[in-house]
Amino acid sequence: MSTDITRRLDAARTAAAEAGIDALLVTPGADLRYLTGFAAMPLERLTCLVLPVEGEPVLVLPRLELAMALEAGVDGHGIVLHGWDETEDPFAAAAVPLADARRVAVDDHMWAERVFAFRSAVPDAEQVLAGPVLRGLRLRKTAAEVDALRDAGAAIDRVHRRMGEWLRPGRTEREVGRDIAEAILAEGHESVDFVIVGSGPNGASPHAEVSDRVIEAGDPVVVDIGGTMPSGYCSDSTRTYVAGGSAPAEFVAFYEVLQRAQEAQCDYARPGVTAASVDAVGRGIIDAAGFGKEFLHRTGHGIGLETHEEPYIVSGNDLVLESGMAFSLEPGIYLEGRYGARIEDIAVTTEDGLERLNLTPRDLVVID
């Protein structure tokens, strides 16, 4: 990992220099973890990586967080650690390596109060966003990152394979969701990021929260779950189940349409095609079957150290896919007030095709 971090820091410097940026300022979040290996807490006290194009990178952080940074091995990557005391101005400390900077880039998720504080601390430097620089680095996953996503996919698959233990008529969505959350941790995740258990009419809301609705026999149930692994990489997979009994005939018919659409997208997606065209392949099948208005969202999102990151598989995104890009393929059909369905796999583009990282059955699963 030390080699990976060093390579990432060097690549970030090179990309910043090519963009005419003198330094990157990166606060806690996925970008900081990507560049340092340190999953810093987003506290009210400033933690910030100052990465000048020339000169040593400095991680400015509260002294009380210093031990955690050392435990994460940050000092092994040539990063200078500056632990600031409670009475010290951390923005002034962070500004020291920026004395000659004329253009600095702040990470896209930096809190506004910190953006303004840096503007005061480095008044002669123009501020721009670091996203265009860092996005290109994180967009294409290395073999090690793909391995981490495979592990995450296998872990969430194990949870889906256990769904028969919990999902049955007479239980509430909340009860099922609680069991799923425990299993996400038991199957190797470090944290639970989300649990959606949308039964019956609740399944028609793509981001439904678990509720006290009692699951009834024959209810279609959309289960969308994910978490973060100790590596920092995320899982996300959706399957649609029938909780005992028989699903309505109309539902079975449109689920077949959905399955064809998702399969077509997986067959089509590969390096050289655009993100928008992948969306169009599945959307065209769903639209031709008369459910176009019921496909409410984009086909997918990138995934890595964040559950949602680039590339976004959506109409209008003309980004050409390249080998190593990881994203979800998750078309859905939602009939308001009745039921919904979604099939979601995480996939990664290979040199000449696509590898799905979620391997549980995509057929409509009836749980007796």
**Integer Cα distance of 102 and 127 in angstroms:** 9
Residues 6+ apart with CB under 8 A from 58: 49, 50, 79, 80, 81, 82, 94, 96, 97
- Output the pLDDT for position 79: 95
Tell me the residue type at 332. Answer: G
Give just the sign of the alpha carbon dihedral 307, 310, 312, 313.
negative
Strand runs labelled E in 219-364: 219-228, 237-243, 300-302, 309-313, 326-329, 332-335, 339-342, 345-349, 354-356
Q: Which among 106, 95, 93, 111 is positioned nearest to 44, based on CA atoms?
A: 111
**Per-residue confidence in pLDDT tens, the chain, 368 aa:** 456 899 999 999 999 999 999 999 999 999 999 999 999 999 999 999 999 999 999 999 999 999 999 999 998 889 999 999 999 999 999 999 999 999 999 999 999 999 999 999 999 999 999 999 999 999 999 999 999 999 999 999 999 999 999 999 999 999 999 999 999 999 999 999 999 999 999 999 999 999 999 999 999 999 999 999 999 999 999 999 999 888 899 999 999 999 999 999 999 999 999 999 999 999 999 999 999 999 999 999 999 999 999 999 999 999 999 999 999 999 999 999 999 999 999 999 999 999 999 999 999 999 98
Query: Structural domains in the chain?
Result: 2-137 (3.40.350.10), 143-367 (3.90.230.10)
Residue 87: Cβ-neighbour burial (10 angstroms; 0-12, 13-18, 19+): exposed
Tokens of 354: 């696509």
Tokens of 266: 């997986």
Tell me the residue type at 190. Answer: E
- Output the pLDDT for position 336: 95
Q: Among all chains, which residue has been given the structure tokens 């799923």?
A: 180
- Output the pLDDT for position 151: 98
**Integer Cα distance of 363 and 195 in angstroms:** 21
Torsion, CA 49, CA 54, CA 55, CA 56, rounded to 10? 40
Distance of CA 10 to the CA centre of its chain: 24
Tokens of 358: 């979620």
Q: Among all chains, which residue has been given the structure tokens 């872990």?
A: 155
State whether residue 46 is helix, strand or coil. Answer: coil
The answer to whether the beta carbons of residues 92 and 99 sit under 8 Å apart is no
- Output the pLDDT for position 368: 81
Residue 205: Cβ-neighbour burial (10 angstroms; 0-12, 13-18, 19+): middle
Strand order in the sheet with 80-84: 80-84, 58-62, 48-52, 23-26, 103-106, 126-129
Give me the phi and psi of 248, to 5 degrees please.
-55, 145
**Integer Cα distance of 351 and 79 in angstroms:** 34
The answer to whether the beta carbons of residues 356 and 347 sit under 8 Å apart is yes
